[in-house]
Amino acid sequence: MARLLIEGGTLLGLTAPGDIRPSTDLYAQDGRIRAVGPEAARLAAEEPGPVRDRVERLDARGKWVLPGFVQAHLHLCQTLLRNGPENLELLPWLRGHVWPGEAAHDPATMSVSARLGIAECLSAGVTAILDMGTVRHSDALFEAAAASGVRYVGGNVLMDDPRTTPAALRASAQEGLAETERLCAKWHGAENGRLAVAVSPRFAVSCTDALLRAAAELARDRGLVVHTHASENRGECALVKERTGLGNLAYLDAVGLLGPRTCIAHAVHTDEKDFRLLAERRAAVAHCPSSNLKLASGVCPVPELKRAGVRVALGSDGAACNNVLDPFREMRLAGLLPGVRHRPGPLSAFDVLRMATSEGAAALGLPGPEGFAAGARADLVVLDPDVGWSLPDDWSAEPYGAIVYSMGRESVTATVVDGVVRYRREDPSVGGVKPAPPEIREAVRNLRTRMRES
């Protein structure tokens, strides 16, 4: 199994603000963190000869190492549907662009769509994805995830209601759930546990009551993650109310779908009752700010959800409604959006960074110690603070704002999943120029020192 020694990085553990260890080695073994600090290099050196020769090394001197970004809501099947029609709301956009596009896939186009989306994610520091597939060709998604090395939780989408779904993209409840069970037998727990199957009813509007209840039962019986959309758009909420007499989340609860392994994408149109319900059921929300703005859905009340005790993660949604898969852009928006309605500061940069990393991992149902504790999953991103014009100076006090508001995918120099380097950029310069050479850093330091002293 894999061995990885990350040398000399500044470790940002994200368990609490200030959990920072400068110039520290990290040793990962069989996908888990074995040791940090002086013991890491010693363990690597003490491995028996043939193993020692195969230890992968990553020079992280001058760089920041932190838990990898998690996309808690994605549609890899939509990567090739990027840059479609603009200025549509959810339901006409689904009917006119996304559903015909998903129905037109064959295994070959699905494979390209998945591989392209995963590459985009890995190169932006994403280590894990909660993906909503489509009705057919799900094996192509799992095959792409298996080959790429990314951590992947996904499954076939369930849509069976003839009143609301097109014939070309519909499967009966029996057919859809049988497909989820088939995927489970083939992929759940594969690749050393890196792949997992989620029960994925698309949204209440696309599913019959019988399907939703059976899906909840399957998820409960098998201990699977439930991944669905809810309360994204006013028209969607009105449809659910008209058909069930209940609010969207109250209805999902009534059919048994809300629980500690449930991740709800969006939750934009929610109120105090919904916050309390989500908190009581310990269900997570995947906040997708770019998608919500692009489809004019509204703004998820993240500070209120968090205050009620709801776990909130981040997602890019599909490339068809974003149109990029980039955790930095979602972090930036997530941090800025509460400013529309609140005084400054309802979400700190540290809060946002946790939403993009450890809160996301929990939403994907990934248990285990956090940060750099021994036994924590070695899913990591390495950032170069000298790239991207972020100019961090006294970062030892506040590196989080630099990551959330200044850095971007160009700052990512390596992405590690399960203790294996799955993306590595040898030359992290932009067009051959590294924007923060030593003289710039020194000037920043001098200027800020004078500001503090004045």
Interacting residues with Zn ion (CB under 5 A): 317
Q: Which element (helix H / strand E) includes 141?
A: helix 138-148
CA 138 vs CA 154, 159, 174, 197, 415: distances in Å: 9, 14, 17, 10, 25
Question: Which is it for strands 420-424 and 157-158: parallel, antiparallel or unpaired?
Answer: unpaired
Judged by beta carbon, residue 122 or residue 132, the one nearer Zn ion is: 132
**Nearest-CB residue to Zn ion?**
317
Judged by beta carbon, residue 166 or residue 435, the one nearer Zn ion is: 166
Nearest to 27 by CA among 4, 45, 59, 9: 4
Judged by beta carbon, residue 123 or residue 228, the one nearer Zn ion is: 228
Q: Least separation, in Å, of the C-beta of 417 and Zn ion?
A: 23
Tokens found for residue 407: 């850095």
Q: Least separation, in Å, of the C-beta of 198 and Zn ion?
A: 13
Q: Least separation, in Å, of the C-beta of 279 and Zn ion?
A: 23
Count Cβ atoms below 10 Å from residue 257 Cβ, excluding itself.
Answer: 26
Q: How far apart (Å, rounded) are the C-alpha atoms in residues 250 and 337? A: 26
CA 173 vs CA 151, 197, 210: distances in Å: 28, 17, 8
β-sheet bridge partners, residue 126: 69
Judged by beta carbon, residue 317 or residue 370, the one nearer Zn ion is: 317
Q: Are 6 and 380 in contact (CB under 8 A)?
A: yes
Judged by beta carbon, residue 317 or residue 330, the one nearer Zn ion is: 317
Q: Least separation, in Å, of the C-beta of 321 and Zn ion?
A: 7
Judged by beta carbon, residue 24 or residue 292, the one nearer Zn ion is: 292
Q: Least separation, in Å, of the C-beta of 266 and Zn ion?
A: 7
Judged by beta carbon, residue 20 or residue 157, the one nearer Zn ion is: 157
Q: Least separation, in Å, of the C-beta of 98 and Zn ion?
A: 9
Q: Least separation, in Å, of the C-beta of 265 and Zn ion?
A: 5
Which are the contacts of 282, defined by CB distance < 8 A and separation ≥ 6?
A: 259, 260, 311
